Structure 1
Amino acid sequence: MASHDMASIAQALVAKSKGILAADESTGTIAKRLTLIGMPSTEENRRDWRELLFTADGFADYISGVILYDETIRQKAKDGTPFVDLLNKAGVIPGIKVDMGAKPLAGSPDEKVTEGLDGLRERLAEYRKIGARFAKWRAVIDIAADQPSNYCLDVNAHALARYAALCQEADIVPIVEPEVLMDGDHDIDRCYEVTSAALRTVFAALDTQRVVLEEMLLKPNMVISGKKCPTQASAAEIAEKTVRCFRNTVPAAVPGIVFLSGGQSDEDATANLDAINRIGNLPWEVSYSYGRALQHGALMAWGGKPGNVGAGQRAFAHRARLVSAARDGRYSAKMESEAA
């Protein structure tokens, strides 16, 4: 199963100064984003928004790959160029979200399990033909007084590992995303405990299912306080506990960790990534796979108006430049106000 190609793609996705743009919002999620700017979620409007991102000047300096949604990977730019070709020409690797979303877990309906394994082998073969070179599957782990259960951790880890093995069979690099949510009032130590348990369970399942660690990436949450926790941890504490957690659970053979932003503000997601990278001497490349934290400022600057495309692209490039600096441990808050 070993493939030099998959290992080299995994490494290219976490190249210095670069990370991944998650533009794989489902139709329902992107409708919520477009509603913020008073725009109906038509196929044309969704395409226009993604085209704004994919044609921004210099974005390939900071973005190594883009995770696409099923609709998006099949779309073409206004001039008729398929988005996949547009990205490849810019030197950006196309990827695809392949899970079918989190559904109530049978036997524990307050918890979630991600579905989408049925027919996945065939879908991966099709996506590979269209041009996808990596994929993503997200598991959702909620923290509550008696959650997550070991049952929830086990079934989500099993699904992630099944997905990853099928990806590697199809010559597609899997991004394995066990997201411990930051909703709730738990403190950072509780997040540390649950994130550690989730990662241990995931890597045990990956080992059982013969997933080649050198040919995958991990997309986890940071170890962080819950949004409703009265005491919010500092960037330094988040960095220290995140690094300690991952050193204890993530094998050094994994080429890279691409953090999700998980509901953090643009600035927090940038500052926290910077603090993690400043610790240094880590066994993996530590980068980003951000969705909202890379897109929000651009969406607001664009506002759905054709005359504002340039402003939206400048806002996107500005945030991408800052997140890239954080990925290299050289971000500072004063860069926020520097000219976009």
Structure 2
Amino acid sequence: MLTLSKEIQNELQQTARSIATIGKGILAADESMSTIGKKFVQISVENTKENRRLYRQMLLCDDRIKEFISGVILHDETLYQKDDNGKNFVDLLREKNIIPGIKVDRGLVTLIGTYSETTTQGLDDLKPRCEEYYKLGCRFAKWRSVLKIDDQNGLPSALAIVENARGLARYASICQECRIVPIVEPEVLSDGNHSLERCQQVSQKVFAATIAALHEHNVLMEGILMKPNMITAGHDHGPSNAEEIGLATATTLLRTIPASVPGIMFLSGGQSEEEATVNLSMINQIGSKMRPKVPWTLSFSYGRALQNSAITLWAGNAANVGKARNELVRRMKANSMASQGRYMPEASSTSSTATKSNYVAKHVY
């Protein structure tokens, strides 16, 4: 935009388009040490630096993932870790033509003056960190902003919507100045008992406010990726069917997101692995038939919805790496098909873990 050279604009657009390659998506492997520790507790693995390295190695070092994954969001710790042969994980990804990304937000803090709503911290030193991450090979970044629906207390408040939109826009502007594609993640949480219709109403306001703030900060729309929630009923309300989710999600996006954005990479929001895949496929099926037809690549940026079965199979045991990777690749392939509207679930090949909800109330990363 106004502050970016043509060279930087071209680089950003090329990176964003590459990540949004049809049939490919993002593996979100950016869990904090505390979050991955919670996963390790469930499989009786000690939360040590070495065990985290071994887990990342299981996720990243299979050549087959390059067929389905265009980018991986890493945690800062992982940038400096190596595989058993001494090769840096970032270099391994680049050899597979997978673009390394990095989580740059520093988590949620209470937004004073609201009813326990939050904003995201990490802007103060973001520019020097992004400059260093670029030198280390990262070409895109992630920043999560969270809004919650609570009609009893009037949430989300106008203040929370505006504050989080501005934070996302400032983050995106800084990233682009540093030649890094920002993933813009305005997440409307599934916590609560609200209806699908209510989620759609709120999400439309949140997405529209986010896009408006991006424009105000002169963010290059062709050089970003969006990572929104799907439109679903609240967790305590009861499930919506895939057709309802697909229509509501595609409609909301068409109302709010510019066609110039290369890709929309959905978060899974606590859905089970299978739910996230089925719903992604339905969004693509319905979106391709709408008038106007959806103009973006609609794909995935999943963490739990790709990893859950794999980490359960791995369980910290080197002997289980092969079968854990096979399951990981199977989930990646399923979501690749879903991103093209072509996924056909097969009950006989779906594990009980894949259908287990990944919902965690007030989830943090």
Q: Does 1:253 align with 2:260?
A: yes
Q: Does 1:155 align with 2:147?
A: no
| Structure 2 CA distance for aligned equivalents of residues 309 and 140 of structure 1 | 34
| Structure 2 CA distance for aligned equivalents of residues 5 and 297 of structure 1 | 36
Matched position secondary structure for 1:71: helix
% same residue: 46
Matched position secondary structure for 1:58: helix
Query: Which residues in structure 2 correspond to 1:206-221 (within 5 Å)?
Result: 206-221=214-229
Residue equivalent to 1:264: 271
Q: Mean Cα displacement is larger for which, 19-28 or 55-64?
A: 55-64
Is the 1:57–1:317 contact (alpha carbons within 8 Å) kept by the matching residues of 2?
no
| Structure 2 CA distance for aligned equivalents of residues 336 and 165 of structure 1 | 47
Matched position secondary structure for 2:346: helix
Residue equivalent to 2:177: 169
| Structure 2 CA distance for aligned equivalents of residues 334 and 208 of structure 1 | 46
Q: Does 1:243 align with 2:258?
A: no
Is the 2:63–2:96 contact (alpha carbons within 8 Å) kept by the matching residues of 1?
no
Compute the RMSD of aligned alpha carbons: 1.2
Deviations 1:137-196 (A, max 9, x none): 000111111100010011100010000000000000000000000111111011001100
Matched position secondary structure for 1:22: strand
Is the 1:99–1:114 contact (alpha carbons within 8 Å) kept by the matching residues of 2?
yes
| Structure 1 CA distance for aligned equivalents of residues 181 and 348 of structure 2 | 33
Is the 1:165–1:211 contact (alpha carbons within 8 Å) kept by the matching residues of 2?
yes
1:131 to 120, 128, 137: 137
Alignment-mate amino acid for residue 188 of structure 2: V
| Structure 1 CA distance for aligned equivalents of residues 215 and 189 of structure 2 | 25
Q: CA deviation at 1:108?
A: 1.3
Which runs of 5 or more residues in structure 2 are unaligned? 352-365
Q: CA deviation at 1:109?
A: 4.8
Residue equivalent to 2:236: 228
Aligned structure 1 segments of 4 or more residues deviating by more than 2 angstroms: none
Is the 1:56–1:314 contact (alpha carbons within 8 Å) kept by the matching residues of 2?
no
1:4 to 10, 34, 59: 10
1:73 to 72, 79, 83: 79
Q: CA deviation at 1:283?
A: 1.0
Query: Which residues in structure 2 correspond to 1:23-62 (within 5 Å)?
Result: 23-62=29-68
Q: CA deviation at 1:74?
A: 1.6
Residues 92 and 335 of structure 1, relative CA distance in 2, 3 Å threshold: farther
2:298 to 286, 289, 294: 286
| Structure 2 CA distance for aligned equivalents of residues 29 and 303 of structure 1 | 16
Q: CA deviation at 1:254?
A: 0.6
| Structure 2 CA distance for aligned equivalents of residues 241 and 309 of structure 1 | 39
Matched position secondary structure for 2:132: helix
Residues 338 and 199 of structure 1, relative CA distance in 2, 3 Å threshold: closer
Q: CA deviation at 1:57?
A: 3.9
| Structure 2 CA distance for aligned equivalents of residues 165 and 235 of structure 1 | 35
| Structure 2 CA distance for aligned equivalents of residues 335 and 286 of structure 1 | 25
| Structure 2 CA distance for aligned equivalents of residues 180 and 73 of structure 1 | 29
| Structure 1 CA distance for aligned equivalents of residues 111 and 84 of structure 2 | 41
Alignment-mate amino acid for residue 176 of structure 1: V
Deviations 1:101-139 (A, max 9, x none): 011111115101000001100000000001100000000
Q: CA deviation at 1:39?
A: 0.6
Q: Does 1:197 align with 2:205?
A: yes
| Structure 2 CA distance for aligned equivalents of residues 46 and 76 of structure 1 | 11
Deviations 1:281-317 (A, max 9, x none): 3111101000000000100111111110101100100
Alignment-mate amino acid for residue 71 of structure 2: G
| Structure 2 CA distance for aligned equivalents of residues 275 and 183 of structure 1 | 23
| Structure 2 CA distance for aligned equivalents of residues 338 and 124 of structure 1 | 40
Residue equivalent to 2:310: 298
Q: CA deviation at 1:56?
A: 2.0
| Structure 2 CA distance for aligned equivalents of residues 322 and 77 of structure 1 | 27
Alignment-mate amino acid for residue 38 of structure 2: K
Q: TM-score, normalised by structure 1?
A: 0.97
Q: TM-score, normalised by structure 2?
A: 0.91
